[in-house]
Structure 1
Amino acid sequence: MTVPSVNWNYPTAIKVGPGRIDELPDHCRALGMERPLLVTDPALAPLPMLEHAERACREAGLGCAVFHDIKGNPTGRNVDDGVTAFKRGRHDGVIAFGGGSALDAAKAIALMVGQDRPLWDFEDVGDNYLRVNVSGMAPVVAVPTTAGTGSEVGRASVITDESAQVKRIIFHARMLPSIVILDAQLTVGLPPRITAATGMDALSHNLEAYCSPFYHPMAAGIAVEAMRLIKEYLPQAVANGADLQARQQMLVASCMGATAFQRGLGAMHALAHPLGALYDAHHGLLNAILMPYVLKANQQAVAPRLETLARYLGLPQAGPDAVLDWVLALRKAVGIPHTLAEIGLDDAQADRVGRMASQDPSAGTNPLNLSAEQYSQLFRAAIRGNL
C-alpha cells in the first residue's frame, strides 16, 4: 500500500458545559466584537434563551441586534437579507445561535459581508474558495441549540439556490467559527421528535464518515467514539429531555460528527440534499429515514469496517448485518418513520432525484460509485420501505 499524502484540518476553541452561555459576551469581546449580529431562526427568536443571550450582551455593553428571517432550509435570499441587516446595523461580528439552518445561514452571512461577488461564486467547486476576500469576513461565535448538524465546527454552509432548486455547499476554511459554546441547557426544551431527528443526523455524519474510503484515521476514530455516545445517550435524550448528561453528550457527539466528516460523507447526504431542495423536508429526518437503505446498498463494500464497528459498540452480533439491525432498532426506539412516504414524499421525481444525487459532492466519498439510476432506485426503495 502506498503511503498517502493528505491535508488535515481540525476544529476550534470549544467551551463545553451547562451554563457556559453566560460567557457569550466575553467571547464576543475576545474576537473584537462590539456590535454583534445575533443570527437565529424564527422559532427561537421569541424564546427566553434568546432573550437571555441578547440581554447578557447588551448588559455587557455590546450593541447586539437579532436577525431571524431564515427558513428551515436556508436560502440565498436569507443570506442576502442577513448581509443587509449586518451592514445596516454597522455590526462587526456574528453570533450564530440555533440549529443547523441558523448556523449555516450565520456563517454564510459572516462570509458575505465583505465580498463583492455573489454567494454562488463561492460554491465548493474546484478552487472557488480562492475568490474569497478573507479580510472582509466577520468573526463568528457559534452556539448550537440542537445536537445534529455539527455546523458549529464546519467550514461550510449548505444553502438552497431556489431558482435552480438545488442545495449548494459554500466553503472556505475561515468559515469555521472561532469560538463554540456547547451548553446542554440550551437543548433541554427541544421536543422528542426533533431530538430524535437531529440525533440521527449526527449519527449519519459519523457513520458516513467512518465508511468513507478517504484516508483519515483521526476522523475515523472520532466517528467511532461519537457513535458509541449516540448509542448510549440518544434514547435517553429522547425519553427524558431534561437529562443534562444525555443532552451534553449528544452535543459533543454532534460536534464530533462534523469534525469526522472531513473524511467525507456519502449516499445518505447525496440523496438528502436534493430531497431537501425539492421538497423542503427536514434534513436530519431525511438522513434518518434514508440511513438503512443506504447502509444496505453499501454493506458489502464496507463489511469489514462494519464488523469492527459492531464490536466497538458492543452489539450482540458482529456480522455484516449487526450495524443495520442496530440502526433499525434505534430508529424504531426514537420514533423515526420507516419510509419517505410517511413524511409526504412520492417518487414522481425519482429520475431527477437520482441525477441530482449522483452529481452531489457527497457522492464522491460514498464507498461505492453509484449511478444516477442506482440513486433513483435507492430513493424508490426508501419511499416504499423495500430493504
Structure 2
Amino acid sequence: MNFQQKYTFSFPTVIRFGAGVVAELGDYLKSQHLSKPLLVTDPLVRELDFFTKIISRLEQAGISVEVFSEVHKNPVKSDVLKGKKSYQETDRDSIIGIGGGVGLDVARAIALSINHHRDLFDYDDLIGGDQYVTEPIPHFVTIPTTAGTGSEVGRSAIISEDESKKKRILFAPSLMAKIVFADPELTMDLPAFVTAATGMDALTHNMEAYLSKNWHPMCSGIALEGIQLIGKSLEKATLRPDIESRSNMLMASMMGAVAFQKGLGVVHSLAHPLSSLLDTHHGLANAVNLPQGLAFNYGGSEEKFDQMALMLGLNKGEGSQLPVYIANLNARLGLPANLTSIGVLPSHIATLSDLAFADFCHPNNPKPVSQYDFEIMYTNAL
C-alpha cells in the first residue's frame, strides 16, 4: 500500500481511506444536499485540534454545525436521549459520529432514535428488537479517531442501562454508515496508552472472531489478515508512531469489526463486566483478560492457535505460546499486567462472574463456559 495515496473501497459500505481524507467531508455533505449535521463525539475528542479544524472547514464550506458531546465513558441511554433532543431542537438533517467506540456508538444510537419512538431498549437485538427498526435512518457518516473498536464499519451500538449498567445491543443493517472517512492522521496524536489499549481491543476482536465456533470463512480470512497487520504494527504505532503503522492499525481495526460478525467469545464476556462495574476502558479490559481467555480456549483449537501464532511472527507449531506472548506484548506496550492493577479486588470476583456468565458474547466461544470457569479466569488474572 502507498501510504501517501487515498483509496475508496466498499465492504459493504463506502470507505474512504488515507491520510487527509477527512478534509473531503464538507464537499461530500454538499454533494448529498446536506447542510446541518449533528456532530456526535466525546468530551475529550471535542477539545482536540483536529476536531476544531473539522468544524472550521465545514463552516467555511457553508455547513451549519451543531456539536453534541455529553456522553459517559461507557455510554448510557440518557446520553442517547439527550443527543436526540439536540438533533430535534436544532433542526439537523444528518449525523456524523467522530471518535472511538463511545462517540460512534452514541451517534449510531441517536440515528436509530430519530424516527423510532419506542423505548430505546425495545430495539435490543438480543430480545428481537431489530424487527422494530422499520423507519428511515438520518444520513449517517462515521469518522474514527482510534484504531480499536472498528465501530465505524459496524451496524450495532452497545449502550448501557443508566442504573444497572447492563449492556444492550442495538442492531440493524440500516444502522451502517453511508460512508466512512478513515483518516490515519486523526490517530497520530493519540497518547501511547490509548493507542496500546485500543490496539489490543482490535487484536482481541480479530482473535476472538477467528476462534468463534460459528462458520464464516470470509470473516476468518479477514481476521487472520487483521492479526498479521497488528502483529507487525502495534508496537511501532504505540512507541514510535508513523503514518504506515497508524494506517495498518486503522485498517486492522476495521477488519476486526467486520470479522466479529462471526461472533466473539469469552474474553469479551470477561471484559464487559469490568466496564459496567468499575468503568474500565474496554480495550484495557480486553488486554488484561486476553491471556486468560486464550489459555482457556487452547484445548480443542490447537490448529487455529498455531495459525494465529504464525500471523504474529511466532514459529510453526507455537500456538500454545500465545497466552505468554500476549502477556509479554502487554508489558512491552506499558499496559497493566493484572486485574489488581486496574482496581479489581477479590471481593469483586463473584459479581463479575455473575455478569460475565450473563453476557451475550460467550455463547459463540469455541467451547462452553460456566460461571465457575469465569471465577477461575478472573482469579488467575488478579
TM over 0.5: yes
Q: CA deviation at 1:125?
A: 1.5
Q: CA deviation at 1:96?
A: 0.4
Question: 1:292 aligns to what?
Answer: 291
The farther-off stretch of 363-372 and 348-357 is 348-357
Paired AA for residue 42 in structure 2: D
Q: CA deviation at 1:10?
A: 5.1
Residue-by-residue CA offset, 1:186-239 (whole Å, 9 max, x unaligned): 111100010000000000000000000110011000000111110111000111
Question: 2:151 aligns to what?
Answer: 151
On the 8 A contact 1:111/1:175 being kept in 2, the answer is yes
SS at match of 2:221: helix
Question: 1:71 aligns to what?
Answer: 72
CA distance in 1, matches of 2:45, 2:311: 37
Mapping of residues 1-387 of structure 1, within 5 Å: 11-135=12-136, 137-241=137-241, 243-383=242-382
Paired AA for residue 153 in structure 1: V
Q: CA deviation at 1:106?
A: 0.6
CA distance in 1, matches of 2:62, 2:117: 31
Residue-by-residue CA offset, 1:58-77 (whole Å, 9 max, x unaligned): 22222111111111111111
CA distance in 2, matches of 1:101, 1:30: 28
CA distance 1:355–1:10, change in 2 (3 Å): farther
Residue-by-residue CA offset, 1:19-71 (whole Å, 9 max, x unaligned): 00101112333444221000011111122211111121122222111111111
Cα RMSD after superposing both structures: 1.5
Q: CA deviation at 1:120?
A: 0.8
SS at match of 2:168: strand
Paired AA for residue 20 in structure 2: G
Paired AA for residue 229 in structure 1: L
Residue-by-residue CA offset, 1:274-325 (whole Å, 9 max, x unaligned): 2211111100000000000010011103111111222343313523313223
On the 8 A contact 2:292/2:323 being kept in 1, the answer is no
On the 8 A contact 1:11/1:259 being kept in 2, the answer is no
Q: CA deviation at 1:185?
A: 0.9
CA distance in 2, matches of 1:249, 1:375: 33
TM-score scaled to structure 2, two decimals? 0.94
CA distance 1:183–1:361, change in 2 (3 Å): same
Q: CA deviation at 1:270?
A: 1.0
SS at match of 1:133: coil
On the 8 A contact 2:160/2:167 being kept in 1, the answer is yes
Paired AA for residue 245 in structure 1: E
CA distance in 1, matches of 2:200, 2:229: 12
Question: 1:6 aligns to what?
Answer: none
CA distance in 2, matches of 1:372, 1:81: 37
Residue-by-residue CA offset, 1:127-172 (whole Å, 9 max, x unaligned): 210112322x212110010000000011111111122221111111
CA distance in 2, matches of 1:348, 1:278: 12
CA distance in 2, matches of 1:65, 1:312: 44
Paired AA for residue 247 in structure 1: R
On the 8 A contact 2:226/2:255 being kept in 1, the answer is yes
Paired AA for residue 12 in structure 1: T
Paired AA for residue 197 in structure 2: A
Q: CA deviation at 1:98?
A: 0.7
CA distance in 2, matches of 1:187, 1:311: 28
CA distance 1:118–1:218, change in 2 (3 Å): same
CA distance in 1, matches of 2:160, 2:345: 21
Q: Kindly, what percent of the aligned residue pairs are identical? A: 38
Question: 2:5 aligns to what?
Answer: none
Q: CA deviation at 1:360?
A: 1.3
SS at match of 2:39: strand
Structure 2 unmatched runs, 5+: 1-9
Residue-by-residue CA offset, 1:244-294 (whole Å, 9 max, x unaligned): 111111000001000000110001111211221111110000000000001
CA distance in 1, matches of 2:140, 2:375: 39
On the 8 A contact 1:158/1:169 being kept in 2, the answer is yes
Paired AA for residue 373 in structure 1: Y
CA distance in 1, matches of 2:117, 2:71: 22
On the 8 A contact 1:316/1:322 being kept in 2, the answer is no
CA distance in 2, matches of 1:21, 1:317: 41
Paired AA for residue 144 in structure 1: P
CA distance in 1, matches of 2:309, 2:189: 32
CA distance in 2, matches of 1:201, 1:74: 17
CA distance in 2, matches of 1:367, 1:323: 16
CA distance in 1, matches of 2:324, 2:373: 23
CA distance in 1, matches of 2:314, 2:101: 30
SS at match of 2:374: helix
CA distance in 1, matches of 2:268, 2:135: 29
TM-score scaled to structure 1, two decimals? 0.93
CA distance in 2, matches of 1:221, 1:235: 23
On the 8 A contact 2:269/2:356 being kept in 1, the answer is yes
SS at match of 2:246: helix
Paired AA for residue 320 in structure 2: D
